[in-house]
Chain A
Amino acid sequence: MDLFSNLALGFATAASPWNLLFCLIGVLLGTLIGVLPGIGATATIAMLLPITFQLEPVSSLIMLAGIYYGAQYGGSTTAILINMPGESSSAVTAIDGYQMARKGKAGAALAIAAIGSFFAGTVSTFLVAIFAPPLTSIALQFGAAEYFSLMVVGLVSSIALAHGSIIKALAMVVLGLLLGLVGTDIYSGTPRFTLGIREYADGLNFVAVAVGVFGVAEILRNLESEKTRTAVITKVSGLFPSREELRAIVAPVLRGTAIGSALGILPGGGAILASFASYTVEKRVSQRPEEFGHGAVAGVAGPESANNAGAQTSFIPMLTLGIPANPVMALMIGAMIIQGIVPGPNVATEQPALFWGIIASMWIGNLMLVILNLPLIGLWVKLLTVPYYVLFPIIMAFCSIGVYSVNGNPYDLYAVALFGLLGYGLVKLRCEPAPLLLGFVLGPLLEENLRRAMIISRGDPSVFVTRPISAILLLIAVAVLVVVFLPSVRRKREEVFVEED
Chain B
Amino acid sequence: MKSLSFDKVNGFAGLLFIILGGFFAVQAYGLDLGTAFRMGPGYFPLVLAVILIGLGLIVLIQATQVSGEALGAVAWRGMLLILPAPIVFGLTVRGLGFVPSLFLTALVASFASTRMTILRALLVAAAVTIFASLVFIEALGLPFRLFGPWLGY
Q: Enumerate chain A interface residues (CB-CB to B < 8 A).
A: 51, 54, 165, 167-168, 170-171, 174-175, 177-178, 181, 185, 187-188, 190, 192-193, 216, 219-221, 223-226, 387-390, 392-394, 396-401, 403-405, 410-414, 416-417, 420-421, 424-426, 428-431, 447, 450-451, 454-455, 458-459, 461
| B31 interface residue per 8 A CB criterion | yes
- Give the CA-CA distance A461 to B89 in the complex, in Å: 48
- Whether the Cβ atoms of A429 and B58 lie closer than 8 Å is no
Q: Which of B138-152 contact A (CB under 8 A)?
A: 140-142
Partner of B52, one of A174, A187, A450, A458: A174
Q: Which of B74-116 contact A (CB under 8 A)?
A: 74-75, 77-79, 82-87, 89-91, 93-94, 102, 105-107, 109-110, 112-116
Q: Enumerate chain B interface residues (CB-CB to A < 8 A).
A: 9-10, 12-13, 16-17, 20-21, 24, 27-28, 31-32, 35-42, 44-45, 48-49, 51-52, 55-56, 58-59, 62, 68-69, 71-75, 77-79, 82-87, 89-91, 93-94, 102, 105-107, 109-110, 112-116, 120-121, 124-125, 128-129, 132, 136, 140-142
- Give the CA-CA distance A185 to B42 in the complex, in Å: 9
- Whether the Cβ atoms of A393 and B91 lie closer than 8 Å is no
> Besides A221-B75, A392-B113, A413-B87, 14 other CB < 8 A contacts?
A51-B140, A174-B55, A181-B44, A188-B32, A223-B82, A224-B73, A393-B128, A403-B86, A410-B94, A421-B79, A424-B75, A451-B39, A459-B36, A459-B37
- Give the CA-CA distance A392 to B90 in the complex, in Å: 18
29 contacts between A and B (CB under 8 A): A51-B140, A54-B142, A167-B58, A167-B59, A171-B52, A175-B20, A178-B52, A181-B45, A188-B40, A192-B41, A216-B82, A219-B78, A223-B78, A223-B113, A224-B74, A226-B115, A393-B107, A400-B85, A400-B105, A403-B86, A404-B93, A410-B91, A414-B87, A424-B75, A428-B71, A429-B13, A430-B68, A450-B44, A459-B36
**CB within 8 Å for A458 and B37 given contacts A397-B128, A400-B102, A421-B83:** yes
Q: Residues of B contacting A399 with CB < 8 Å?
A: 86
Q: Residues of B contacting A226 with CB < 8 Å?
A: 113-115
- Give the CA-CA distance A193 to B44 in the complex, in Å: 13
Partner of B84, one of A417, A424, A447, A451: A417
- Whether the Cβ atoms of A414 and B90 lie closer than 8 Å is yes
**CB within 8 Å for A396 and B106 given contacts A168-B59, A178-B48:** yes
Cβ distance A451 to chain B, nearest Cβ, rounded Å: 5
- Whether the Cβ atoms of A454 and B16 lie closer than 8 Å is no
**CB within 8 Å for A404 and B113 given contacts A167-B62, A393-B128, A428-B74:** no
Shortest Cβ distance from A212 into B: residue = B86
Partner of A392, one of B20, B69, B102, B109: B109
Shortest Cβ distance from A208 into B: residue = B86
Q: Residues of A contacting B102 with CB < 8 Å?
A: 397, 400-401
Cβ distance B65 to chain A, nearest Cβ, rounded Å: 12
Partner of B106, one of A388, A397, A404: A397
- Whether the Cβ atoms of A413 and B48 lie closer than 8 Å is no
- Whether the Cβ atoms of B9 and A185 lie closer than 8 Å is no
Cβ distance A196 to chain B, nearest Cβ, rounded Å: 11
Q: Residues of A contacting B28 with CB < 8 Å?
A: 192-193
- Whether the Cβ atoms of B121 and A393 lie closer than 8 Å is yes
Cβ distance A407 to chain B, nearest Cβ, rounded Å: 12
Q: Residues of A contacting B110 with CB < 8 Å?
A: 389, 393
Q: Residues of A contacting B10 with CB < 8 Å?
A: 165, 168, 429-430
- Whether the Cβ atoms of A429 and B24 lie closer than 8 Å is no
- Whether the Cβ atoms of A224 and B78 lie closer than 8 Å is yes
- Whether the Cβ atoms of B86 and A389 lie closer than 8 Å is no
- Give the CA-CA distance A93 to B68 in the complex, in Å: 29
**CB within 8 Å for A165 and B112 given contacts A188-B41, A429-B9:** no
Q: Residues of B contacting A412 with CB < 8 Å?
A: 90
Q: Residues of B contacting A430 with CB < 8 Å?
A: 9-10, 13, 68-69
Shortest Cβ distance from B61 into A: residue = A167
Q: Residues of B contacting A165 with CB < 8 Å?
A: 10, 59, 62
